[in-house]
Amino acid sequence: MRGLTVLRLLAFLAAAVAIAPLIGVVAAAFGDGRADIAAADLVRYALTSMALAFLVGLSTAVLGSVSAWLVVMHSFPGRNIFAWALALPLAAPAFAVAYAYADLFDVAGELRTWMRAVPGLDWGPQMRSLPGAAFVLSLAFYPYVYLTVRAALVNQSSQAIEAARSLGCSPTQALVRVALPLLRPALAAGVALAVMETLADYGAVQFLSVQTLTTGVVRSWFVYGSLEAAARLALPLLGAAALLLWIERLSRKGRTDEAARARWRPIQPTPLEGGRGLLALAFCIGLLTLGLFLPAGWLAIKALDISPDWPRLVRAASHSLGLGLGGAIATVILATCLALSAERMPFTARISSLGYATPGAVMAIGLLAPASLLWQNVPGAVSGLGVGLLLLIYAYAARLMAAALEPVEAGLTRVTPSMVSAARTLGRSETGAALAVRLPIASGAMLTAVLVVFIDVVKELPATLILRPFNVDTLAVIADNYARDERLPNAGWPSLMILALTLPAVIWLTRKITASRPGDLNGRH
């Protein structure tokens, strides 16, 4: 039972895939080469990163938990639709939301120009600022908190709250003294995800002229030409990523028992009467509008002004779709190998998740290391389209391992240890038991993982930019090209097409997640 089994070998392989880029970053950090970035600037970058992470963490915590609380604990018009619709902004890439808001509220934009004509109305939020970036990222990432908190609320038995009420607490007191402390692990996990995404973001933050540590990384690399200095700057970001991952894991520990508790009884939602119901409705509609409809709508309005290069967009869309599915399937297969052995090697599984919280620009530095090995040592590897696509899919796997690992692991928890033992005593080897019992039971969760990674790959930018083979553009790449060239209407089309690809997946996912019952979190098919 001990020693190196096939499963473990596969797990180590998957882990190696995921960790190689990070080793690349660390290795580069120890190289020679310097960038003359002033210490004061570095401090400013670091403070901005921290402030941004803090603001996004705080506002996603509020938006996510309030919306989850409303939807689970209360009934009001549209509640059943909002239950899944509130997660839809997951489909929108943060950079596209940034394009839309920056343009919408630009001081010289249509809206502000029109407002300026009306005396006393000449005011608008400054999107290209720290608060602006926090606003945009909060809208893009609050669904992470919404989904985790919602799951915890649904899984939480109503008994604790009822007990609190019977002990003399008002509903508000029950919320503050009982429900919130019970939700804390879920809240921490969701916020950690949102903050990881925030630190990993470059497209949106850069477009909004907010200079973070990632700016420092990019500046060292591009202006001072020092990959090594860039890698050194990336180390604190890696550290932050590891810390967040640890927090997320830690908070997960307390959650499993909750869902598995036998005496579960669904929470009876409290009806919100009249004005309060409308207020809840307005809150949910407002959140959805700000997170999805307004930015998507504005991009659509801008995009309609121009006629796009359709053949190019369609080609890019097919690349996005193909890479998305290919990347998702490869990532889920690797993550499954890892998850099957995760119990026995938890550290390896955790460290493999690090890529998820690593900023795209940093990951790009790291990815070049294994890519370089391949390019320089395998004849024909650089120019082969197949190898190029494989490399890209590899990059997605390294970057998004955590996104796949999490649902797959959750799915595998539905397989009790005794089921595996049963399969063993019924004549299956460890690998055989995995194939005949663990994988089929977790297959629903694997499907979920495929969709989650698909959505992320379609939105992915930095790895695609730096590693893609000849003549392969994705929608995200095209959007980025246009945005860099200051042609927003042109950038609108690919952004909207990304949304068209990811929305069905997000809808399917969130409907499935919100329809599932406790103890059956990953659905049954």
Identify residues 430-469 at the interface with other proteins (CB under 8 A): 432, 436-437, 440-441, 443-444, 446-447, 450, 465-469
Which listed range, 75-83, 84-92, 286-294, 306-314, lies at the site for other proteins (CB under 8 A)? 306-314
Which listed range, 160-168, 221-229, 236-244, 292-300, lies at the site for other proteins (CB under 8 A)? 221-229
Number of residues that bind other proteins (CB under 8 A): 101
- CA dihedral (286, 292, 297, 302) positive or negative: positive
Residues 128-187 that bind other proteins (CB under 8 A): 128-129
| Nearer to other proteins (CB atom), residue 490 or residue 514 | 490
Say if residue 207 is exposed, middle or buried (CB neighbours under 10 Å; 0-12, 13-18, 19+). buried
Q: How far apart are CA 192 and CA 141, in angstroms?
A: 11
Structure tokens belonging to residue 67: 């919306």
Q: Is 413 in the site for other proteins (CB under 8 A)?
A: no
| Nearer to other proteins (CB atom), residue 288 or residue 328 | 328
Q: Is 313 in the site for other proteins (CB under 8 A)?
A: no
Q: Is 21 in the site for other proteins (CB under 8 A)?
A: no
Q: How far apart are CA 86 and CA 153, in angstroms?
A: 15
Q: How far apart are CA 90 and CA 222, in angstroms?
A: 31
Q: Is 209 in the site for other proteins (CB under 8 A)?
A: yes
State in angstroms the smallest separation of the CB of 144 from other proteins.
24
State in angstroms the smallest separation of the CB of 293 from other proteins.
23
| Nearer to other proteins (CB atom), residue 159 or residue 416 | 416
Binding mask 250-289 toward other proteins (x if CB under 8 A, else -) reads ----------------------------------------
Residues 328-347 that bind other proteins (CB under 8 A): 328-329
Residues 26-65 that bind other proteins (CB under 8 A): 36-38, 40-41
Q: Is 512 in the site for other proteins (CB under 8 A)?
A: no
Q: How far apart are CA 336 and CA 442, in angstroms?
A: 9
Q: How far apart are CA 321 and CA 324, in angstroms?
A: 5
State in angstroms the smallest separation of the CB of 190 from other proteins.
27
Which listed range, 164-172, 351-359, 397-405, 424-432, lies at the site for other proteins (CB under 8 A)? 424-432
Residues 351-410 that bind other proteins (CB under 8 A): 364-365, 368-369, 371-372, 375-376, 379-386, 389
> 497 near 476, Cβ under 8 Å?
no
**Contact pick of 397, 472, 479, 501 for other proteins (by CB under 8 A):** 472
Which listed range, 54-62, 255-263, 320-328, 501-509, lies at the site for other proteins (CB under 8 A)? 320-328
**Contact pick of 33, 74, 111, 116 for other proteins (by CB under 8 A):** 116
Please work out, in degrees rounded to the nearest 5, the angle formed at the alpha carbon of residue 101 by the alpha carbons of 95 and 107. 130
Query: E-assigned strands of 49-129?
Result: 74-75
State in angstroms the smallest separation of the CB of 419 from other proteins.
5
Q: How far apart are CA 423 and CA 71, in angstroms?
A: 41
State in angstroms the smallest separation of the CB of 167 from other proteins.
32
Q: How far apart are CA 35 and CA 114, in angstroms?
A: 45
**Contact pick of 54, 222, 246, 293 for other proteins (by CB under 8 A):** 222
| Nearer to other proteins (CB atom), residue 33 or residue 254 | 33
Structure tokens belonging to residue 338: 């890892």
Q: How far apart are CA 480 and CA 426, in angstroms?
A: 55
Q: How far separated are the first and last CA of the chain, in Å rounded?
A: 32
| Nearer to other proteins (CB atom), residue 272 or residue 467 | 467
- CA dihedral (89, 521, 505, 474) positive or negative: positive
- What DSSP string runs through 254-269? THHHHHH-SS-----P
State in angstroms the smallest separation of the CB of 215 from other proteins.
7
Task: Tell me the helices (H) and strands (E) count for the chain, helix number first.
Answer: 26, 2
**Contact pick of 165, 184, 344, 414 for other proteins (by CB under 8 A):** 414
* The residue type at 474: T
| Nearer to other proteins (CB atom), residue 78 or residue 326 | 326
**Contact pick of 30, 32, 108, 166 for other proteins (by CB under 8 A):** 108
> 239 near 42, Cβ under 8 Å?
no
Instruction: State which H helix or E strand residue 376 sits in.
Output: helix 360-377
Residues 486-505 that bind other proteins (CB under 8 A): 486, 489
**Contact pick of 31, 225, 239, 266 for other proteins (by CB under 8 A):** 225
Residues 68-107 that bind other proteins (CB under 8 A): 102, 106-107
**Cross-strand bridge partners of residue 271:** 75
Instruction: State which H helix or E strand residue 183 sits in.
Output: helix 180-200
Say if residue 307 is exposed, middle or buried (CB neighbours under 10 Å; 0-12, 13-18, 19+). exposed
| Nearer to other proteins (CB atom), residue 195 or residue 477 | 477
Q: What is the DSSP letter of 320?
A: H
| Nearer to other proteins (CB atom), residue 12 or residue 224 | 224
Residues across the chain = 525
Which alpha helices (DSSP H) does 30-129 contain, by range? 39-73, 79-85, 94-104, 110-117
State in angstroms the smallest separation of the CB of 212 from other proteins.
12
State in angstroms the smallest separation of the CB of 338 from other proteins.
18
